[in-house]
């Protein structure tokens, strides 16, 4: 079952979480190196600006608002309780001397400067106070303007950085998706036997999207956050070593929690991802098999199974929420503890004059800034986890080396021009090692011949064809085209000369015209009209309101299987091939449609080599040679008349079909 498979592979993948993957992504990021550098530069600038804001506040406070030339004097030394803060002004400053002279009872002159207790400043005339502190006022204004400039520049830089990162992320995602798409369409068919469609589609959509998020948000934020953390630590220690040491004392506890969190969260994310994959594959399976589910009235059972998976997904989601719900408040509390420490030690530092007020304010701002990145990184952890496992799954496909084998250039034969003969030389073949589907098959088809293959269902007829068009290579023996091993021709040149009408033809969603023109050069209106007539498709297109421009829904389900086969005959005709391979439909087709198909086939086969797989002996009867296949072995071969005379399998079949 699909879900079982995908669960297995999800689990297997979830365990290995590896930074080496980042290295593998580098080639995709390389074309955008300059943009990345630009972005990193901007991030550095932004961080520096972020860091400077509290520092500017500190300078403003310490230089202008509460200048550090202020000092405290204990008025009552005996008790040591009451301290008075004095503002000191320089007598040399213009206007100061006269103001001081006006209030002799308030100022105490000490040589070059005069001091006045802060409490008495309010007793001065407003005008005098403004003059006295004029320098401070203009200083504060200057600093505020400076701050404004920084905030604006910061905004512009942030905008630019975000745009660049988003652009780069989108570009990388597109490149990655194109690479994946192209890789998948070149893969060996055996790969698709092992990998359900749903899973492959998830790779190209979800997984690529996850990578995009990593490139944009994670790289930007994590880098920025780490840089900010380091920056803050450095600034804190330069402002006041002891206070920095005190306030960062909670850091080991925070680190401990972060590591614990990372471990639990990883597990929770993994479970969530596995459950999501199960939901996806169950959904895909249900949609794919909805006919069978309804036919066998499996709705209730299927519903129950889905409900269970859905609930498990919910529980896994809740577990993840719980992990975050514990971790984030813990970080919050640690932040508060650090803040309390700063206020406690910083406050007493101010009182004892070892720390300036500006330094304390800056410290408080920095501490607030410090804990935000820690939260951020923790939150980005989930994106990172997702992206890593997505990267792993994408590379798992990209590492699939099983491409359709092409000849090595020196072994390659010149372009395949015209078919002169096809040989099977002791060919044996198995899809699964050990389970032979074809056993020691040898036969020859000369140019212009029609060879029919008959045999019971499961005999290996379709498998035989798979070898001719090189969907697979034989396990043993050789398939020869024009006397050369088919392996030495580029499969492209072989396939352009062979046309295959399959048992259950696949039509793409698109117009009938596009489906017919598939693979062939451009078709003129006249050619198309000729093909429609020759393939008996005209009655079909004439009955449709939009004619050849009718859009077929996905898989061509809007038309019947007989009509689909007619369109695929037209498609084969359009490519004007040398070899026609026709795998007759096993499904019931009314005799009128059957007649139409047969006459279309006759036109198609005229003057060409053909291999027919026949279920209705009326198709086989006129072939030059008939090969009867049973359980992967050729049991009879000869013309219709010869085989009838042999009184073997074919003649019994003939008698049965009347
Ligand atoms: P087929 O070659 O498909 O048998 P057939 O074409 O003769 O049968 P029918 O008349 O019903 O069209 O299958 C032969 C065996 O190979 C059968 O046991 C299924 C197996 N098989 C695979 O395992 N993978 C494949 O892709 C195909 C086509 C067949
Ligand atoms: Mg078949």
Considering the chain, what is the average pLDDT of its residues?
A: 83
For residue 19, the model assigns a pLDDT of: 65
Q: Is the Cβ atom of 462 under 6 angstroms away from ligand 1?
A: yes
Residue minimizing CA distance to atom 27 of ligand 1: 463
CATH code of the region 4-49+155-398: 1.20.1560.10
Sheet of 83-90, strands arranged across: 71-74, 83-90, 113-117, 108-110
CA-wise closest residue to 338 among 377, 368, 359:
368
DSSP 505-548: ----SEEHHHHHHTTSSPPPHHHHHHHHHHTT-HHHHHHSTTGG
Q: Is the CB of 463 under 6 A from ligand 1?
A: yes
pLDDT score for 587: 66
Q: How far is the CA of 288 from the centre of ligand 2 (A)?
A: 21
- Supply the pLDDT for residue 12: 44
Q: Do strands 625-630 and 450-454 pair parallel, antiparallel, or not at all (unpaired)?
A: parallel
* Most informative mutation of 430, 455, 463 for ligand 1 (most atoms within 8 A of CB): 463
Q: Give 122's pLDDT tier (boundaries 50, 70, 90).
A: confident
Strand partners, 422: 445, 481
Rounded to the nearest angstrom, the distance between the alpha carbon of 437 and the centre of ligand 1 is 8
Contact 113, 91 (CB under 8 A): yes
Question: What pLDDT sits at residue 6?
Answer: 39
Res. 77 pLDDT band, cuts 50 70 90: low
Q: Which atom of ligand 1 is nearest to the CA of 632?
A: 14
- The β-bridge partners of 609 are 579
Cα within 13 Å of Cα(217), Cβ side: 17
Nearest to 57 by CA among 189, 239, 319, 195: 239
Mean pLDDT of all residues in 112-121: 82
Average pLDDT over residues 144-154: 95
> Is there an atom of ligand 1 within 6 Å of 586 CB?
yes
Please give the distance of CA 189 from its chain centroid, rounded to a whole number.
Answer: 23
Q: Over 60: is that where the pLDDT of 80 sits?
A: no
Least confident of 257-266, 395-404, 553-562, 563-572: 553-562
pLDDT at 76: 52
Measured from the Cα of 466, ligand 1's closest atom is 28
Whether the CB-CB separation of 392 and 18 falls below 8 Å is answered with: yes
Average pLDDT of the segment spanning 170-176? 89
Q: Which ligand is nearest to the CA of 463?
A: 1
The alpha-helical segments, DSSP class H, found in 103-207 are 126-132, 134-185, 189-194, 197-202
Answer yes or no: is the C-beta of 587 below 6 A from any ligand 1 atom: no
**pLDDT (0 to 100) of residue 395:** 86
Contact between 51 and 227 under an 8 Å Cβ cutoff? The reply is: no
Domain regions of the chain by residue span: 4-49+155-398, 65-138, 421-656
CA-wise closest residue to 382 among 17, 13, 12: 17
Centre of ligand 1 from the C-alpha of residue 290, in Å = 24
Atom of ligand 1 nearest to the CA of 615: 10
- Residue 566: which of 457, 450, 574 has the closest Cα? 574
Cα separation, 430 vs 437, whole angstroms: 5
Q: What is the mean pLDDT of the segment spanning 460-467?
A: 92
Tokens standing for residue 63: 């230089």
pLDDT per residue over 297-311, tens digit each? 889 999 999 999 999
At CA 571, angle to CA 565 and CA 577, rounded to 5? 115
Q: Using a 6 Å cutoff on CB, does residue 420 contact ligand 1?
A: no
> Is the Cβ–Cβ distance between 175 and 25 less than 8 Å?
no
Q: Which ligand is nearest to the CA of 457?
A: 1
Positive or negative, the CA dihedral 524, 530, 535, 539 is positive
Q: Is 95 in the pocket of ligand 1 (CB under 6 A)?
A: no
Ligand 1 centroid to Cα of residue 431, in Å, is: 10
Cβ(457) – ligand 1 distance below 6 Å = yes
Phi, psi of 420 (to 5 degrees): -115, -10
Smallest CA-to-CA distance from 177 within 394, 402, 384 is with: 394
Nearest-angstrom CA–CA distance, 246 and 338: 8
Q: What is the CA radius of gyration of the chain?
A: 41
pLDDT band for position 563 (50/70/90)?
confident
CA-CA distance, 161 to 547, in Å (whole number)? 53
Say which CATH architecture domain 421-656 belongs to: 3-Layer(aba) Sandwich (3.40)
How many whole angstroms separate alpha carbon 599 and alpha carbon 534? 9
Choice from 193, 437, 439, 616 to test ligand 1 binding pocket (greatest atom count within 8 A of CB)? 437
Contact between 566 and 599 (Cβ < 8 Å):
no
Tell which atom from ligand 1 comes closest to the C-alpha of 629. Answer: 7
Quickly list H helices, 186-215.
189-194, 197-202, 208-213
Helices (H), 353-499: 357-398, 461-468, 491-497
pLDDT for the residue numbered 441: 94
Q: What pLDDT digit, counting tens, does each position of 324-381 carry?
A: 888 888 888 988 999 999 999 888 888 887 888 888 999 999 988 888 888 888 777 7
- Mean pLDDT to the nearest integer, 215-229: 80
Q: Do 4-49+155-398 and 421-656 share a fold? A: no
Residue 500: which region, alpha, beta or left (left: phi > 0; alpha: psi -120 to 50)? beta
Integer Cα distance of 150 and 155 in angstroms: 8
Continuous segment of H or E residues that includes residue 74: strand 71-74
Alpha carbons within 13 A on the beta-carbon side of 93: 14
Q: What does pTM read for this prediction?
A: 0.70
**Length of the chain counted residue by residue:** 658
Give the C-alpha distances (Å, rounded to integers) separating 89 from 21, 83, 230, 446, 592: 64, 19, 39, 114, 113
What pLDDT score does 163 carry? Answer: 92
In whole angstroms, give the CA distance from residue 641 to residue 405: 41
Helix (H) or strand (E) holding 273: helix 251-288
Integer Cα distance of 300 and 297 in angstroms: 8
């Amino acid at each position: 079952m699909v879900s079982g498979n995908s669960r297995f592979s999800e689990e297997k993948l979830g365990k290995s979480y590896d930074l080496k993957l980042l290295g593998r992504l580098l080639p995709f990021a390389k074309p955008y190196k300059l943009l990345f550098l630009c972005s990193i530069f901007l991030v550095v600038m932004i961080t520096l600006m972020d860091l400077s804001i509290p520092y500017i506040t500190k300078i403003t406070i310490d230089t202008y608002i509460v200048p550090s030339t202020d000092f405290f004097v204990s008025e009552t030394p005996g008790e040591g309780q009451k301290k008075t803060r004095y503002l000191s002004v320089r007598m040399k400053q213009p206007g100061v001397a006269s103001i001081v002279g006006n209030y002799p009872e308030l100022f105490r002159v000490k040589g070059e400067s005069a001091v006045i207790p802060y409490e008495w400043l309010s007793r001065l005339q407003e005008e005098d106070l403004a003059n006295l502190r004029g320098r401070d006022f203009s200083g504060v204004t200057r600093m505020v303007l400076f701050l404004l400039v920084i905030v604006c520049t910061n905004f512009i830089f942030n905008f630019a950085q975000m745009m660049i990162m988003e652009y780069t992320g989108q570009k990388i995602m597109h490149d990655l998706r194109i690479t994946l798409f192209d890789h998948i369409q070149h893969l060996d068919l055996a790969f698709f036997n092992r990998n359900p469609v749903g899973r492959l589609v998830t790779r190209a959509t979800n997984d690529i999207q996850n990578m995009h998020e990593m490139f944009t948000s994670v790289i930007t934020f994590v880098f920025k956050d780490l840089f900010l953390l380091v920056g803050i630590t450095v600034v804190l220690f330069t402002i006041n070593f002891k206070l920095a040491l005190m306030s960062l004392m909670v850091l080991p506890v925070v680190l401990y929690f972060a590591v614990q969190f990372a471990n639990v969260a990883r597990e929770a994310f993994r479970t969530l991802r596995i459950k999501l994959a199960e939901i996806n594959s169950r959904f895909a399976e249900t949609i794919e098999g909805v006919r069978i589910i309804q036919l066998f009235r499996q709705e209730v059972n299927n519903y129950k199974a889905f409900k269970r998976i859905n609930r498990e997904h919910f529980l896994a989601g809740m577990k993840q929420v719980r992990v975050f719900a514990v971790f984030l408040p813990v970080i919050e509390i640690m932040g508060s503890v650090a803040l309390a420490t700063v206020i406690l030690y910083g406050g007493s530092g101010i009182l004892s004059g070892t720390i300036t007020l500006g330094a304390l304010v800056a410290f408080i701002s920095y501490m607030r800034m410090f804990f935000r990145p820690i939260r951020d990184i923790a939150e980005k952890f989930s994106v990172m986890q997702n992206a890593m496992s997505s990267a792993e799954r994408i590379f798992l496909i990209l590492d699939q080396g099983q491409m359709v084998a092409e000849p090595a250039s020196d072994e390659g034969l010149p372009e395949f021009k015209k078919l002169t003969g096809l040989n099977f030389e002791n060919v044996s073949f198995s899809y699964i090692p050990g389970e032979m589907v074809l056993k020691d098959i040898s036969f020859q088809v000369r140019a212009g011949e029609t060879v029919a293959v008959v045999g019971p269902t499961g005999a290996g007829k379709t498998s035989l064809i798979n070898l001719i068009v090189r969907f697979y290579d034989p396990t043993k023996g050789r398939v020869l085209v024009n006397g050369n091993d088919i392996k030495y021709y580029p499969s492209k040149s072989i396939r352009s000369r062979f046309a295959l009408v399959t048992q259950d033809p696949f039509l793409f969603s698109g117009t009938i015209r596009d489906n017919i023109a598939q693979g062939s050069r451009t078709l003129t209106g006249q050619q198309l009209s000729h093909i429609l007539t020759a393939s008996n498709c005209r009655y079909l297109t004439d009955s449709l309101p939009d004619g050849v421009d009718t859009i077929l829904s996905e898989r061509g389900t809007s038309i019947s299987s007989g009509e689909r086969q007619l369109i695929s005959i037209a498609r084969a005709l359009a490519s004007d091939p040398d070899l026609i391979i026709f795998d007759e439909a096993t499904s019931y087709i009314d005799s009128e449609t059957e007649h139409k198909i047969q006459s279309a086939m006759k036109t198609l086969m005229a003057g060409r080599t053909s291999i027919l797989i026949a279920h209705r002996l009326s198709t086989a009867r006129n072939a030059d040679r008939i090969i009867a296949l049973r359980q992967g072995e050729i049991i009879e071969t000869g013309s219709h008349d010869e085989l009838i005379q042999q009184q073997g399998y074919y003649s019994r079949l003939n008698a049965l079909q009347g």
